[in-house]
Amino acid sequence: MEEMAWEGMMRWLYAFQVLACALVLYSSRAFVIRKVGGGGGVAMEKTAATIAAPRRVTSSSAFIVFQRAFLTVFLLASMADGLQQVYGESLYQSYALKRRDIALLLAVGHATSLSLGTFLGASADTIGRKRMCMLYCFLQVLAFFAKQMNNFKVLCFAHVCLGLSAALYFSAFEAWMTTEHEKMGFRHEWLNETFWMMSLGMGIVAIGSGALANFLVEWEGVGARAPSFAAAVVSAVCFLIIKSTWVENVGVRHISLSRPISNAFQALQEKSVALLGWAQACFDLAVGIFWLLWIPTLVADGREVQSGLIYTCLMASRMLGSSIAALLQCGPLNTPLGAFLPYIFLVAAGSLFLPAYDYQEIGVLLACFCLFHICVGIIWPSLAHLRSIYIPNDRRAAVLSLFRVPVHGAILFIIVRGELFLGLENSTIFTLAIVGLLSAAACIHMITRTKHSTSQENGLWKVLTRIVTSTFKDMSSTVQWLCLHKFY
């Protein structure tokens, strides 16, 4: 009976993939027609910085060359990140590490992203986005070498490198692309196509990374070290491409390392940016919680599941969601984000309701998980489009780094309480994700409801954010004073 159920899942997998490919082809064709015909206006109002962008290059052929070059690098970076994670737990189990030790390594990675990673990602605006993307590749290679040693302290160093690289992955690449897009004078609405292709490509790369990792592990008994080696090779190739083909772009240069964070807090004085940041953080947290709990949820009653097949199906569902996003934003529908995005967040929250209350029917659980990833495929490029509208390019990496602070903090809390001290139930963690998604839906509704906030609301919001900014500046000055008197 169990085998027949899995065969049915395989047929659903093929259906997801075929439908996703068909929607992508249709959406791409519709978007090309719009570009040739001049296209329509953007779904939402642009910022003043976007309107003032130079219009030196407007040909679609130049944009396609730029887009393909960026996607090549971004997807290679995504593959390196995926290969580092695949078989990571198996590698540590081969080192005879206990579950508690593995959880501690994960906690080290998230703590690094929360602390040092925030400052490193924010400094990309000052030091240079290209340099930070190259540093991402170097950290991935360094993590590979550290993971080859069966020493817990060295493995902690590996996860420090991975934590720093994760901070750069979520900030530097997007900051470089959006800034170059504006500098080259491409139309702002063309960013939509790049974002949904990034989301679609991440799903394809995730499937390919899993297949490549399985092949390498089984090839002549190489073992669980092989995926990390492949990640190092991919990172080295990515490093060379960035070095030889990318140009550097920098925001505002500052002497003080704390200044980029202060600039990011100043950007949060705009209520729309703060609401967008909370929605982004809640979405990223829900995705992170899912990947922590999806296997424990499926094997809760002691059954054995084919995790590789389920993972492929989930990635195919995400590809389907990315295709739907392209159809809604870039195709003939040209739907404003406010007309559908809050409802997608509500559907995503509803899809986690049954898993949160320990529902055990595997077919229903898989349907909920697939629905959740369809929503992920729609939400990811939609939020990226909102970020391109509301976040200034000169401080984009810093703002994106601040958006990730609540995510790493919450996941670190979950790992410490749930894995190390066994103080949290899976249902409680899923409920946290549901509440976050519901609040994100409210934030997106508030952003898209009106084009401009009232002056009274903005005034009160700016007063509150200025208090936080001034407090942060005082703390930074105190830390710098202590460091000078400590070492000099």
Q: If you write DSSP's letter for every residue of 342-354 in order, what string do you get?
A: HHHHHHHHHHTHH
Among 27, 136, 131, 162, residue whose Cα is nearest residue 74: 136
In sequence order, the 6+-apart residues with CB closer than 8 A to the CB of 40 are: 34, 334
pLDDT of residue 243: 94
Residue 426 is predicted with a pLDDT of 80
Cα distances (Å, whole numbers) of residue 480 to 145, 475, 488: 34, 9, 12
Spans of all domains in the chain: 65-476
Asked if residue 196 lies in contact with residue 49, where contact means CB atoms within 8 angstroms, the answer is no
The whole model's pTM is what?
A: 0.82
What is the predicted pLDDT for the residue at 61? 84
pLDDT (0 to 100) of residue 18 = 57
Contact 100, 419 (CB under 8 A): yes
Token pair recorded at residue 369:
């998980």
The per-residue pLDDT for 450 is 55
Burial of 322 (0-12, 13-18, 19+ CB in 10 A): buried
344 closest CA partner among 444, 196, 448: 444
**Of 102, 161, 116, nearest in space to 415 by CA:** 102
Question: What's the confidence (pLDDT) of residue 422?
Answer: 62
How far is residue 148 from each of residues 92, 101, 210, 284, 286, measured CA to CA in Å? Answer: 10, 16, 20, 30, 32
pLDDT number for residue 473: 47
**pLDDT confidence of residue 207:** 85
- Are 404 and 115 in contact by the 8 Å Cβ rule? The answer is no
Cα distance between residue 257 and residue 262, in whole Å: 10
The answer to whether 390 touches 270, Cβ cutoff 8 Å, is: yes
At residue 223, the pLDDT reads 77
Expressed in angstroms, the distance from the first to the final Cα of the chain is: 73
Question: Quick one: fold of 65-476?
Answer: Growth Hormone; Chain: A; (1.20.1250)
pLDDT along the chain (488 residues), means of 10: 42 58 56 46 38 45 90 94 86 87 91 91 88 95 92 94 94 93 87 88 88 81 82 95 92 62 78 92 94 83 72 86 82 75 94 81 85 94 92 88 92 80 77 94 86 44 46 44 41
401: its two tokens? 């780094």
